[in-house]
Structure 1
């Protein structure tokens, strides 16, 4: 994942794709077909690319799992 977490420009994190086609629910709606990753996604990474090992964009970093969960991020394919 590439982004500017907490204002730290040009940050790159690494991880693996943990699952495909994940569903996210909010109090108002459900969203489908996310890529789940353990790459660190923090405030400021949203909108940045999620890349594969060939440097191809496979998703756009979008959300993190709330609560006490760590290392669970989501990207739109």
Structure 2
């Protein structure tokens, strides 16, 4: 279809929002109105300075098109041991 890349602008409406999925609570979640659809999750959430502040991760169906991203600090904690070689 020629729709390989998507760029949206999003408003962050909440930071550090706890979200429960399948009984597990995820912290450091950023709530945004960015369009996140099957096939385009996992891309960076970037601020106006071009800095990555999170990774777009999921939506909650039937919830007004809200998207959620994992905050960059949580990502750094999880991958730091792989980068410190």
Q: Which ranges of 4 or more aligned residues in structure 1 deviate by more than 4 Å?
A: none
User: Structure 2: 5+ residue runs without aligned partners?
Assistant: 72-85
Confirm whether residue 44 of structure 1 aligns to residue 39 of structure 2.
yes
Task: Give TM-score scaled by structure 1 length.
Answer: 0.80
Instruction: Give the count of matched residue pairs.
Output: 70
Task: Give TM-score scaled by structure 2 length.
Answer: 0.73
Q: For the pair shown, which has the larger CA radius of gyration, 1 or 2?
A: 2
RMSD of aligned C-alpha atoms? 1.5
2: CA distance between counterparts of 1:44 and 1:23? 24
Report the structure, 1 or 2, having the larger helix content: 2
If asked which structure has higher relative contact order (CA below 8 Å, sep 6+), I would say 1
Report the structure, 1 or 2, having the larger strand content: 1
2: CA distance between counterparts of 1:15 and 1:75? 11
Partner of 2:68: 74
